[in-house]
Amino acid sequence: MEFQSFSTFEEMMDAIEQARIIADGKVKPWQAAVKAGDFFVQDTDYGFFIFGEILQTDEEFYTTEAGRHYRFCRAFSVACSEGECGDVHVSVISGIITKELFEEIRNRGWNVDIPE
């Protein structure tokens, strides 16, 4: 992960906007179709997966051009087993999983062994 330093708020906001535009350009059609009620898995650079459920929301942001590829979700992992609500950009979703698989992984404490 690359870190930048910023001198001004505007500089930081410009960088965030550019990152969003780049992420929007990476969205695949199946990712754009992710909707409330879907369950997902996200690979990370930290050696574990994040699992989440896309939640229904009436927040206007998700209907704007800037928010069109963000989804409100509750996400879980071995690092956050109780879950936390927030946004996920669909470009980082690795795959869609069934509710049954989501529940099985929950019962395993969000721990999934990756074959070598």
- The CATH number of the domain holding residue 80 is 2.30.30
What pTM value is reported for the model? Answer: 0.88
Query: Which stretch of DSSP H or E encloses residue 88?
Result: strand 80-89
Whether 77 contacts 70, CB under 8 Å: no
Place of tokens 């999934």: 112
Q: Which pLDDT does position 2 carry in this prediction? A: 67
Report pLDDT for 22. Answer: 93
Low-confidence stretches of the chain (pLDDT beneath 50): none
- Location of structure tokens 């330093």: 5
In a domain, 116, yes or no: no
- How many independent structural domains does the chain possess? 1
Q: What is the DSSP letter of 113?
A: P
Q: Is residue 98 part of a domain?
A: yes
**Number of Cβ within a 10 Å radius of residue 71:** 24
pLDDT at 114: 65
Domain that holds residue 76: 9-107
Is residue 115 a part of any domain in this protein?
A: no
